[in-house]
Structure 1
């Protein structure tokens, strides 16, 4: 609790300090004034100590007309710079009861927090993506969605809320299901053709099933020829070399029957990508290497999808893995390299 209080106090202090700079810099009519400053402090105090007295301060300030987020519905963003507002701090402080009060007071829920910045929803989900989502954080997301938050908005990093939630370090199935139910598009692709399954979601069986059942395309290909199958063996660093009992089941979901495991050659010049088998060896996942070989992965196919003549990755998967096992042993898993070397030549 002490560490949590210190963290919240630090966030609040930083936010108020930034706001001072923002006010001096901008002079904007919608920057924080006295009541909003007081609301920020009251909300921060309640986040640290959830007492009736601190909640009463929050309610009293709202009754006096303090605005938690935006002054008007026509301003381009909540703040002129990347500064916190009472609402912006509330959504990441584990206080859904305050978030509900703020929303009820009238908040432009889809207004960016700053010019070109995140919305409240993308900010909230982005802040909970590094750890395990807590019930109060999920409730905050639910409140934002119920208030009309756009679940398909693109964050400054190019991700949708669904992508951020699904690729979190400790992803929450409850949060992902909530976003899907609210209309999040699981088939959305970025300009390069990458979709939500191009990443760690492909190596989490429960998440993979949830997204595919929700409409995600398991066979999508990017402009470079990569597919979700490319990432099927990629797991968190601490799982390197550990058993992967669901590898074969994930591969069965992502490998279209009757097609090669290897990516197609790009139709036009594009960034070359490794085959799933090479990527698996570099992901230190020998169980997944074995499952790919059993699914038909060709160790003598080109290691990369495009032209890489003259590079360390020129040649077949077998050749590249053998080379890397000697020149960069930390890059390639030794057990995976042995499996590939022993595989029948094709």
Structure 2
């Protein structure tokens, strides 16, 4: 009988999970190792999350910068159609939004129900984020599947002053 192989064997799903976890933790050396070893930079887990989506959502600026400079798609969508910018708009992290926009993120990317990052910013009271997205060219009149737009929602919330 031969001894067991001391090298662990991982499934592709487990490798993707480890890569995404490295992004979640902001582990730059491990992320770099994965990328240098040929990891698909936009690999997705079962929810459609990518390393970039997770890094940006968790405020890992250096990890996000690394992923973007190494070719991560800022408009990659998760299983619900959300991009990294949508998650950042929900969280209200303007500096991360600026990073994504500077790398070509689509400011009006719609999820599966038609919501844009600007609509998320308005929905969750992220006024600084809303202003940043507007400055980046976001459409205040883009309606979602229910007919709501950022301008309409802001007016309902008595925050119409966000729009010129």
Q: What root-mean-square deviation, in Å, do the aligned CA atoms of Structure 1 and Structure 2 show?
A: 3.4
Deviations 1:193-250 (A, max 9, x none): 4322222346321111111111110122334321111112466xxxx8xx95565233
The answer to whether structure 1 residue 293 and structure 2 residue 161 are counterparts is yes
What are the ranges of 5 or more consecutive residues in structure 2 without an aligned counterpart? none
Aligned residues: 161
| Counterpart Cα distance in 1 of 2:113 and 2:13 | 32
8 Å contact kept, 1:151–1:184: yes
Deviations 1:117-174 (A, max 9, x none): 8443123334x2xxxx4xxx22221222222221111112211111111111xx1211
| Counterpart Cα distance in 1 of 2:127 and 2:143 | 26
What are the ranges of 5 or more consecutive residues in structure 1 without an aligned counterpart? 1-31, 37-65, 71-77, 80-110, 267-271, 297-346
Q: Map 1:295-314 to 2 at 5 A.
A: 295=163
TM-score (norm 2): 0.75
> Which of 99, 112, 116 is the matching residue for 2:13?
112
> Which of 13, 30, 41 is the matching residue for 1:151?
41
8 Å contact kept, 1:224–1:273: no
Distance of aligned partners of 1:273 and 1:204 in 2 relative to their CA distance in 1, 3 Å threshold: farther
The answer to whether structure 1 residue 124 and structure 2 residue 22 are counterparts is yes
The answer to whether structure 1 residue 166 and structure 2 residue 40 are counterparts is no
Give secondary structure in 2 for the equivalent of 1:264. coil
Give 1 or 2 for the bigger CA radius of gyration.
1
What does residue 320 of structure 1 align with?
Answer: none
> Which of 63, 84, 92 is the matching residue for 1:175?
63
Give secondary structure in 1 for the equivalent of 2:136. helix
What does residue 132 of structure 2 align with?
Answer: 249
| Counterpart Cα distance in 2 of 1:174 and 1:140 | 13
> Which of 114, 119, 137 is the matching residue for 1:230?
119
What does residue 276 of structure 1 align with?
Answer: 150
